[in-house]
Amino acid sequence: MTGTPAAHEALAALTLDIAREAAAYVTSARPPGRVPVAQTKSSPTDPVTEIDRATEELIRARIAAARPGDGVVGEEGEAVAGDSGVVWVVDPIDGTVNFMYGIPAFAVSIGVEIDGVVEVGCVVNAATKEEYTAVRGNGAYARTPGGEPVRLAAQAPPALSHALVGTGFNYVLATRLHQARAVTSLLEHVRDIRRGGSAALDLCALAQGRLDAYVEQGLKPWDLAAGGLVAAESGVVLAGLTGRPDERLTMAAPTALAAEYFATVRACGF
């Protein structure tokens, strides 16, 4: 039953409901000024706030109430195996540093895997309430508050030299320095870069035509699951250094640009 189109659409509706509720909580719970750090993780500049944790608890509670046999993999809590074949991949606040500083680019990102394949994705920018949704094989859509869903089709620039590239830098210094050197090389080949601070929103921006390409090293499954499906369903090709996108490297570009862009990224030493 979980594999039918009707089941996917029902999962998509539930995912959007949960993401909307979580995004509303994120903004309602945010105090004025800078949000205090509760703990750091991979490095002293890799923060988690109490609101990250509380938001993931809210999402997990809604999933358990609606679909008690499903598994959950989340950024802030222990993995839950489940026995339904459905696993929820959750980043309660993607762009935590942006959230801390009050930069309006932080998102609730929820992907839903069925038998190991992400079939549903939802990214809600908690600051702007822009929503991005995708069901595998049924396209990707963006919706602004009060508006109707608009189907997304990624746009390729006229040439690689005109590509606006989204990227990010890792919390771990050694990885960040490696990325900085590679981005410096890449800048010789493209228009410019933008560092938005949320992988999920960067991938949705690519789907929406606000970026032409994307590259980042160090993404976790919860950074990539939902935004990666939105991008793929808008006509974006995603790849890793030697195959599928993963933590080692995630590259993304519209089909017409992909081969040249991927070769250039590899040549720049990412």
Residues that bind ligand LIP (CB under 6 A): 75, 91, 94-96, 168-171, 197-199, 216, 223
Q: How far is residue 265 from each of residues 9, 57, 206, 233, measured CA to CA in Å?
A: 36, 38, 17, 22
Kindly tell me which of 114 and 253 has the beta carbon lying closer to ligand LIP: 253
- The C-alpha atoms of residue 82 and residue 18 are separated, in whole angstroms, by 19
CB of 148 to ligand LIP, least distance (A): 28
Closest CB to ligand LIP: residue number: 168
Backbone angles phi, psi at 177, to 5 degrees: -65, -40
CB of 124 to ligand LIP, least distance (A): 14
Kindly tell me which of 18 and 114 has the beta carbon lying closer to ligand LIP: 18
The secondary structure element, H or E, covering residue 173 is: helix 173-186
Q: How far is residue 73 from each of residues 60, 69, 114, measured CA to CA in Å?
A: 10, 14, 13
Kindly tell me which of 119 and 216 has the beta carbon lying closer to ligand LIP: 216
CB of 20 to ligand LIP, least distance (A): 19
CB of 107 to ligand LIP, least distance (A): 8
Kindly tell me which of 76 and 233 has the beta carbon lying closer to ligand LIP: 76
Kindly tell me which of 183 and 199 has the beta carbon lying closer to ligand LIP: 199
Provide the CB-side half-sphere exposure for 151 (13 A, CA): 7
Give Cβ neighbours of residue 71 (< 8 Å, ≥ 6 apart): 79, 80, 81, 82, 84, 86, 87, 88
CB of 109 to ligand LIP, least distance (A): 8
Angle between helices 173-186 and 255-267 (to 10 degrees): 120
